[in-house]
Amino acid sequence: MRPEADFATVDARVEALNGRYRHHAARDVLAEALDAKETGRVALVSSFGAESVVLLHMAAMARPDLPVLFIDTEMLFPETLDYQVEVADRLGLTNVQVIRASTTQLALHDPDGTLHQRDTDACCALRKTVPLQAALTPYDAWITGRKRFQSGTRAALDFFEAEGDMRIKINPLAHWGPDDVQDYLWNNKLPRHPLVAKGYPSIGCAPCTSKVAEGEDPRAGRWRGKEKEECGIHFVDGKMVRGPVRETIE
C-alpha cells in the first residue's frame, strides 16, 4: 500500500504519525504502523545483535511475513550468523532477506578485506550503507530497534522520523530503557545472543567490536578509540551519521 496523496511529503507523514502515536506503547506503534496509510510499504532492518530479538519478536507477533532485511557484512561474528538462523526459525519469521555488498564492489574497494583497518567509515559504507540503501529502494518506511539511551545522537529520538525526503524510519523502542529490554527478554523467554554473556552488550562486525568492561557504556566496544557512534545507515536531522568518508564507494 502506497502512502496517500494527502501526505505527499515524508515530513508531513512523520508529523501526522508522531501526533497520532505519541503516547502509544512500543508494541502498538509497531503493529499499527504496519497498516498506517502514511507508511506505505514497510520492512524491518535487523542486525540480529544483542537486543534485536525484542523487536523481531514483536514483528513476528504482528506479521510473521514482514520483510526482515539482515545485512551480512561478511565480517560478522560466526555467533551472529548462527543466531540469525536460530531466531528466525524460533520466531517463525518467514521473510528474512540476507543483504550483502556486491562481489564486484568488494573486489574493487576491499580486495584483501583490510579496508576497516584504514578507513572504518568507508568500510561501513561499502559493506553496510550502500547495500542497505539499495535493498530499501522498494520500501516507503523501515523499522529499527534504536533507543534514546544508546548514544548522544539518539537522545531525542521519536517513534517516527524522516530519512531525508526518501522514506520514514520507525523506532518503536525509542523510549525504552535498559530495564524495559531486559524485562521483555525475560518475560517472553527469548533467546539471548551468545556473545552478550561473554562481555559484548553491543555487537557489530568482529574486527570493530570489543568486549566492554564493567561500568563502561554498553556501546564502548563499538569502534573503540575512534570518534564514531554510528555505522552510517542512520540519519540525524536529515544527515547521515558516521563522520567523513575518505574513500568514496560508488
What band does 150 get if pLDDT is binned at 50, 70 and 90?
Answer: low
In a domain, 247, yes or no: no
E strand spans, the chain = 42-46, 68-71, 96-99, 141-143, 160-163, 167-170, 235-236, 239-240
CA distances in angstroms from 153 to 46, 50, 211, 217, 241, listed in the order given: 19, 19, 22, 14, 8
Range of the domain at 148: 5-240
In a domain, 250, yes or no: no
Q: Which of 123, 124, 208, 231 is catalytic?
A: 231
In a domain, 110, yes or no: yes
The residues near 200 (Cβ < 8 Å, ≥ 6 apart) are 50, 193, 209, 211, 212, 221
pLDDT of 238 reads: 41
In a domain, 249, yes or no: no
Residue 238, SS3 per DSSP? coil
Residue type at 192 in one-letter notation: R
In a domain, 245, yes or no: no
Of 44-53, 176-185, 198-207, 238-247, minimum mean pLDDT range? 238-247
In a domain, 79, yes or no: yes
Does residue 231 carry a catalytic annotation? yes
Residue 239 above 50 pLDDT?
no
In a domain, 246, yes or no: no
In a domain, 63, yes or no: yes
pLDDT of 8 reads: 73
Residue 235 above 70 pLDDT?
no
All three cell numbers of 16: 501526522
For the chain, the domain total comes to 1
